[in-house]
Structure 1
Amino acid sequence: MSDLLWQKSGTRTDERIMRFLAGDDVMLDREFFLHDIEASKAHVGGLANIGIVSVAEADAITRELDMLADDFRHERFVLDARYEDGHSAIEARLTERLGDTGRKVHTGRSRNDQILVATRLWLKAKLGELLTTCRAVAEACLDRAGRESLPLPGYTHLQRAVVSSTALWFAGFAEAFIDDTRRARDTLAWIDANPLGTAAGYGVNLPLDRGYTTRALGFARLQVNPIYAQLSRGKFEIGALDALGTALLDLRRLAWDLSLFTTAEFGFVTLPSEYTTGSSIMPNKRNPDVVELMRASYASVAAARTEIEHLLSLPSGYQRDLQFSKGSLFHGFTHGLAALELLPDLLARFEWNAPAMRAAIEPAMYATDVAIEQAAAGVPFREAYRQAAETAASAGQGRTPESSLAARVSPGAAADLRLDELRARLKAL
């Protein structure tokens, strides 16, 4: 391992303890490394603005940081166990190339605000991906809702209930993912605050140009108080995971529907072949494994959120416990986004089995229509309900799924889906 940033003369280190302290931190820092470099460039520019480094020194450091980023992207520089973490690697590289000029890069900052700002930039990027993906899911649902409307049994308590439609099903998930898009946007706006320049949580005795770094890094606002910058670590990560988790919960319910609809017992849906796999022992099987793993993906996000929440049983100020939040955050977002990103294509391509869906619509499923029609004609609803229950077996006489759907005129129902209203909401986000 390279020289430790915090090593002082007269102290010694133990390799076992160092391995425990480092853990997989340096490997996880690969995910945040380019953001750390960008923040370092902004920091150096701010130092130049207040005369701590010269313009020439700032230019030299910036050139080296750009070269380091390029070397990292092309695997000419590998962030590995030679370094305690990504922050150490940046300073070691600058010192190696620029000597004393490189050693100036850490003036006025701490590894605490380094990881805060790198993580914040990473979270902004991931929430942007979440927003884009939720939008794509909503658009795929709206597209199919507008193109086709086939009769589909509607279920409550997993029992056949009323006549529904594929368009109503798609429109329901469209609105869910429109709300998820809004949640991602609002969370992104909430965390869009620059913590760089708060150092270890108490500021420094320099007039740091924090306004410059806020603009240079594309933050919407400054995170003003240094203590709050530390208090927000974990809090903002949980908020971002909550936004991701909301979308994953909708995915879980959608995947549950598809899991049921693809069974032989339902037979309503056929998945594209690449979304299924075979059995290792049963030659007759094609399994909806992708859908099942989509259904399971919320667990990873929930686990990440729970781990970070439990880490936050802390007083104010930085505590080393927070190092463990990086792995949870990375794994939760990586797994959750991977599941969501497969969804728009799946929604666009799976096929409905119209004859099977129609065959599953039985006469009793029109009983609610009968009761409401009687109530509209003046019969007290509870009496109409009783009469419809007594004649439920013959409720379908003279009725078709199409006539039932056409009569469902309440706003948002099958005869009045209001897709244009939903499209307008999505467009406004």
Structure 2
Amino acid sequence: MSELLWQKPGVRVEAEIQKFLAGDDVLLDREFFLYDIEASRAHAQGLHRIGIIDDAEVDGLTRELAALADDTRAGRFVLDERYEDGHSAIEARLTERLGDAGRRIHTGRSRNDQVLVATRLWLRDRLDALAELCQRCARISLDRAQAEQSLPMPGYTHLQRAVVSSCGMWWAGWAEAFIDNAARARDTRAWVDANPLGTAAGYGVNLPLDRDGATQALGFGRLQVSATYAQLSRGKFELAAVEALGSALLDLRRLAWDLSLFTSAEFGFVSLPSQYTTGSSIMPNKRNPDVIELMRASYASVAAARCEIEQLLSLPSGYHRDLQFSKGAIVHGFTRGLAALALLPDLMACLEWREAAMGAALEPSMYATDLAVDLAREGVPFREAYRRAADPQHWKAGDPAASLASRVSAGSGANLRLDALQARLAAMQPPAGTEASG
């Protein structure tokens, strides 16, 4: 391992203890490495503006940081166990190439604000990806709701047949859900979009650091003003990002549950393309909806990340090493969560309804609610209308198209208000992030 940044003369470093301290940090830092390099470039230019490094030094640092980023993308440089973490690797590379100029890069900063700024940059890009995926899901859902608004399907409560519904209503529900999820992702991104660089270990430094300049250089929406709050916010902003992801994954889980039921032989409402199914290792007749089942399971990783971060935050103010574990939580949660969500738009676009099976499931009892409301409209007190409609002798096969056409309340069969949802979706701006550094 390269020399530790915090190594002091006469201090013995036990290999076993150091292994525990480092954990899998160096591997996790591969996720954040390019963002750390970008923040290092902004910091070097800021040091130059206040006279800590000269023209030749800032040129060399800028050049070598760009070369390190290029080498990392091309696989010529790999962050590995030679280094304690990504921060150490950057400084070691710069010192190797530039000597004293590389040793000056850490002036006025701490690994604390380095990890904060890299994590916020990383999360900005992940939240942009989340918002875009949710918008794609919403667009597909709205298109299909428009095309299939009059296609009847059973509506369920308590997993029991309840009323006549439509594919249009089913799709409109997911459309609005994912519009909300996209909005939450964008709101969370705006909240995360604050620059902690220059707060050092949480107490500032005795240098006139150009924090506003670094904020602009890194494309942050605002400065995180308080040096103390920069440390207090760690874990808190990661938790907010995971919760935004979790909001979308909860909807994905429920949608996947619907499809798990609808594709079963007992329902038979949906046909999936073969690429979304797998075979059994022993039963030749089986095609299993494994993709949907793993989509359904993916929320567990997000929930685990949320729980881990939340438990880490039982701390007093200031920095504590406990917070190192938040990196693994967000990397695992976002990696699995976004991977699952990325498969959903195409699945939504290509699933096929089995109209005959859905029609056959529309039994006479499912028109009882319509009957009760019709009687109430004629002046029968609703409780009396309810009792009459509950009597099976009044049940008879109905017309699903007429049932849907009569459902005129906002958001129901004959009045989906898709235009309002379209307007909300159209009003959303495209991702505001700068080009991804990682």
Which residue identity lines up with residue 138 of structure 1 in the other structure?
A: A
1:317-332 to 2 correspondence within 5 Å?
317-332=318-333
Whole-Å Cα distance in 2 between the matches of residues 157 and 192 of structure 1? 42
Deviation track 1:10-34 (CA, whole Å, cap 9, x = no partner) reads: 1111111111111110010000000
Contact 2:137 2:175 in 1 (8 A): yes
Q: Give the match for residue 253 of structure 1.
A: 254
Superposed, 1:395-406 pairs within 5 Å as 395-397=395-397, 399-406=398-405
2:19 corresponds to which residue?
A: 19
- State the alpha-carbon separation in 2 of the partners of residues 395 and 183 from structure 1: 44
What is the match of residue 419 of structure 1? 418
For the pair 1:83 / 2:83, whether they are aligned, the reply is yes
Structure 1 equivalent of residue 148 of structure 2: 148
Q: 1:396 deviation in Å?
A: 3.1
Q: Which runs of 4+ in 1 moved over 6 A?
A: none
- Residue 306 of structure 1 and its aligned partner are, at CA, apart by 0.4
Superposed CA offset, 1:148-173 (max 9, x none): 23110000000000000011000001
Question: CA separation in 2, counterparts of 1:242 and 1:366?
Answer: 40
Q: What's the offset of the Cα at 1:232?
A: 0.5
Deviation at 1:263, TM superposition (A): 0.5
Say which SS state the counterpart of residue 106 (structure 1) adopts. Answer: coil
Higher relative contact order (CA 8 A, sep 6+): 2
1:408 aligns with 407
Question: What count of residue pairs does the alignment treat as equivalent?
Answer: 427
Deviation at 1:394, TM superposition (A): 4.0
Superposed, 1:16-415 pairs within 5 Å as 16-149=16-149, 150-390=151-391, 392=392, 394-397=394-397, 399-415=398-414
Deviation of 1:131 after TM superposition, in Å, equals 0.3
Cα offsets for 1:280-306 (capped at 9, x unmatched): 000000000010111111100000010
Give the AA of the match of 1:419: L
The TM-score normalised by the length of structure 2 is 0.97
Q: Distance in 1 between matches of 2:237 and 2:227?
A: 15
For residue 370 of structure 1, give the secondary structure of its aligned residue in structure 2: helix
Residue type of the alignment partner of 1:421: A
Once residues 10 and 241 of structure 1 are traced to their aligned partners in structure 2, the CA distance between those partners, rounded to angstroms, is 42
TM-score (norm 1): 0.99
- Aligned-residue offset at 1:230: 0.3
Amino acid at match of 1:147: A
Partner Cα separation in structure 1 for residue 313 and residue 368 of structure 2 = 53
Q: Is the 8 A contact 1:271 1:351 kept in 2?
A: yes
Unpaired runs of 5+ in structure 1?
none
Structure 2 unmatched runs, 5+: 429-438
Q: Secondary structure at the match of 1:212?
A: helix
Identity fraction in percent: 72
Q: Is the CA contact 1:49–1:209 (under 8 Å) kept in the aligned structure 2?
A: yes
- Aligned counterparts of 1:232 and 1:73: Cα–Cα separation in 2: 30
> Which residue type is aligned with residue 99 of structure 1?
G
CA deviations 1:317-349 (Å, max 9, x no partner) are: 110111111011100000000000100000000
Does the residue aligned with 2:105 lie in a helix, a strand or coil?
Answer: helix
Separation in 2 of the partners of 1:395 and 1:209? 76
CA contact (8 A) 1:365 1:396 kept: no
Note the alpha carbon deviations across 1:45-104, whole angstroms, 9 max, x for none. Answer: 111111111122111100000000000001111100000000000000000000001111
